[in-house]
Each structure stands twice: as C-alpha cells, then as structure tokens.
Amino acid sequence: WRYKTPHRVAFVEKLTKLVLSQLPNFWKLWISYVNGSLFSETAEKSGQIERSKNVRQRQNDFKKMIQEVMHSLVKLIRGALLPLSIRDGDSRQFGGWEVKSELSGQWLAHVIQTMRLTYESLTALEIPNDMLQTIQDLILDLRVRCVMVTLQHTAEEIKRLAEKEDWIVDNEGLTSLPCQFEQCIVHSLQSLKDVLECKPGEASVFQQPKTQEEVCQLSINIMQVFIYCLEQLSTKSDADIDTTHLSIDVSSPDLFGSIHEDLSLTSEQRLLIVLSNCCYLERHTFLNIAEHFEKHNFQGIEKITQVSMTSLKELDQRLFESYIELKADPIVGSLEPGIYAGYFDWKDCLSPTGVRNYLKEALVNIIAVHAEVFTVSKDLVPRVLSKVVEAVSEELSRLMQCVSSFSKNGALQARLEICALRDTVAVYLTPESRSSFKQALEALPQLSSGADKKLLEELLNKFKSSMHLQLTCFQAVSPTMMKT
C-alpha cells in the first residue's frame, strides 16, 4: 500500500511540513517580542513603555493570527480527507478534490501519525492548548473515520473469503474458513491498535454514543457478512465447485466405503461441512472474536455477540432442516409402499418369520446417513440421527394408527418391526421418538399368549444377529448432546 502515496496524503504531508517549517520561527519571534528581548538595550525607557503597551494591545491580534493558521490548516486537511465535515460555505475554498476512491485504513492511519507528530511539535513550542484544539478535534475525527473505513474494508475482505473455501476438512470436520475469518478480524483490529490508542490529550474514539453505535453496527455487519458467505457456500450447485477433495481422519477407518480419495463432494456433504463450521463458530470463533473486540475497547460487545449468534443459529437451523429433509423424507416416504408391498394386509397375513425387507432397507438408508455424517463430523452424528429417527418413528406411528384392525399374526408382525427399529436406534431416541414408538405400539392389540411373546423375542434376536455387522454403528454414540 506504500508503493504510491495518494495525492491527498502527499498534500497533507507537504502542508504540515510547511507549517512546521514556518510557524516555530514566527512563534519564537513573538515570544521575543513579548518578553522584550527584541528591544534595544539602549532604547529610551519611554519607547520601551510604549512598546509594552503595544504588546498588550496586540496579544489578542497575534493569538487570532495563530488560530487562523490552525483553522486554515485543519480546513484544508478536512477538505482533502473529510469533506463532509466542512461547512458548505467553506467547501469551495477548502474542498474541490476529485475523489475516485476512499483512502484505505492504512493511509488514514499514516495521516493520523503525521498529524500527531505535527501536534507534538507545536505543543513542544509551548503554544497554548486552546490554540491547538482544532488539530486535536481533527485527529479525533480522522481516528473515527479510520476505524469506520477499516471495518468496512474488513467486511469486503470477508465477502471474498467464500472464494477461498477449499472444502478440505480436518479431523474435527472443519475447513480452514472459520480460522481465516478470525484471522481477518484479528489483522484488522491489529492495524487499528495505534489509532485506537489514546495519546496524551486525546479522547477515546468511542466517546460519542453515535460513534459507538456506528462501530457496533459495522462489527455486526462483519459477522453477518460471513454468515451470508456460509449460506451461499451451502447452496452452491455442483457446477459451481471446481475441484474439491474431502480429507478425513486417517485414524478413522472408512467402514462403509463412502469416501474415496479425490471424490468430489455432493451438495449434501457441503451442507454438512457448513453445518460443522457453524457449530464451531458458535462454540469457539464468535466467542474468540468478542474477546478481540473487548481487548481493543470496542463498545456494545454483548449486542454484537447476541445479534451474531442469533443469525448464526438461524442459519444453522435452516441448514440442518434442509439436510434432514433431504435425508429423512426419502426414508419416510419408502415406509408405506414397503409395508404394503405385495398386497400385504394386516388383517390377513401369515405368522411372522422375521423382519420384512422394507424395514431393513430403511435401516440401511439410516446407516448410509450415519456414514455420510460420520465421515465429515463425528459430533454431528447424534444430532442428525436423532432427528431422522424422529421422522421415521413419527411416520411409523401414523401408519399403525391408520390401520382399522389387525389379525393376531398382523399384530405380532407389526410389533416385531416396531420393536426391531426402536431397539436398533435406541442410542438416538429422543422424548419425541420414544413417544412415537409408544403410540405405535399402543395402536396394536396386546400379545395374548406366552408363545407369542417368546416368538417375538426369538425373531428380534434373529434379526439383531443377522444384521449385527450393519448395526454396529448404532452401538456407540458421541458424548456430544443431541441438539435439535
């Protein structure tokens, strides 16, 4: 950014250099005039008295001259850098710059440093503070503007982060995007460190409530821009992705053969990856960023965090519901046709010999969901599986309650299949799914004999034994809470 100094910055540097080259001599001359050292030692006493009178009379005139120099300096700089801060009447005289683009935060910080050095040099001359107040006011306005511009630029940078998403996940199911986002904000705040720091005699950038509110809104905007990036990434079509690869934890065996080297991601896998990033942002990144804001004395951090978290959770829920719809709906939709395949009738069926294929297929499809989620993020498995099980159990309950009557064999077959599903997915049951299974069983006639109960137990054990390998994934669950 230093390769070519913008004209307006060069103007400020030349202007301050000019003032500092002329004003000190002018001020020293005045001091000599005031203390009488300019008077000739051989001058007549009456002449000295007359000059003393003139000094008193002209003190105000000289003070006014100094202030006019300061005002002109400040107005010229405001016209170049903060044109909206000068009055309409002064805009023609002090403004008129053709501004093609806003100065960057780095250049504004450079100008602030120039003005601070100018102020220090003038203060060293022991010029009264009230004469230099306009410079202090200018420095404060420049500092505020620098913060605003930097935060706006940061939001623009974060918009472009989506282009850097490589979809490579680490062992925790995260891409580099959350880290890049945090680093972008850290770098931005670090660039403002000197600007935010109050030098002797300076007021805080955040002293005005209006400034506090604007900075708060810009900070919220930065967070929401990133949330929007995540949403855009989650809805990218396959055609929008160039070459993508999925990196998995080599210590976790790929039991289901669902992920292979150099496999392009499906839209569902991208949804999962964004979901996984959302979870990490909520638990870690957003809290870290709040600490960074606090470290730099930003105001309204609670509001920034609250609004950002709310937006993030809303996106998380939308993406989660989209994924569940994609995965659960086909499984749910297959139950009714599967149950009644081959003109099956609950009132007229043979004695059960085992769990029918429709339920095994439903379980295999649930296992496929487990495999897909597990490959991306182990922590998401309980949350996703519990919701899929809720949808399946709710549909099964509805179908059972729609049956007008069951024969003895039909009731036994239904109980076998309901219990088989319930027992298999037991680790992912929630109060909602437990209630659905309970309602489904209550819709059936009670088992009338010990022989029926024994047959049910035998068939359940046979089912669990025959599908032991496939059902292995349901035997252990991550300690992560089942968030829905």
For residue 148, count other CB atoms closer than 10 A to its CB: 18
pLDDT in tens, 134-187: 999 999 999 999 999 999 999 999 999 999 999 999 988 899 999 999 999 999
Q: What is the dihedral of CA 463, 467, 470, 473, to 10 degrees?
A: 50
Whole-number Å distance between alpha carbons of 390 and 430:
7
Tell whether the model's pLDDT for residue 422 goes beyond 80. Answer: yes
Taking only Cα atoms into account, the Rg of the chain, rounded to an integer number of angstroms, comes to 37
Tell whether the model's pLDDT for residue 347 goes beyond 90. Answer: yes
Tell whether the model's pLDDT for residue 42 goes beyond 50. Answer: no
pLDDT in tens, 234-291: 987 655 554 444 444 444 444 333 343 335 788 899 999 999 999 999 999 999 999 9
pLDDT in tens, 281-329: 999 999 999 999 999 999 999 999 999 999 999 999 999 999 999 999 9
Tell whether the model's pLDDT for residue 433 goes beyond 90. Answer: yes
The residue among 58 and 74 whose pLDDT is bigger is: 74
The residue among 96 and 161 whose pLDDT is bigger is: 161
Q: Is the dihedral of CA 274, 280, 286, 292 positive or negative?
A: negative
Helical residues (DSSP H) of 261-300, grouped into ranges: 267-280, 286-295
Looking at residue 315, its amino acid is L
Whole-number Å distance between alpha carbons of 116 and 111:
9
Whole-number Å distance between alpha carbons of 264 and 250:
18
Please tell me the least confidently modeled range out of 61-70, 191-200, 425-434, 474-483: 474-483
- Mean pLDDT computed over every residue of the chain: 86
pLDDT of res. 479: 47
Name the DSSP class of 428: G
pTM (predicted TM-score): 0.82
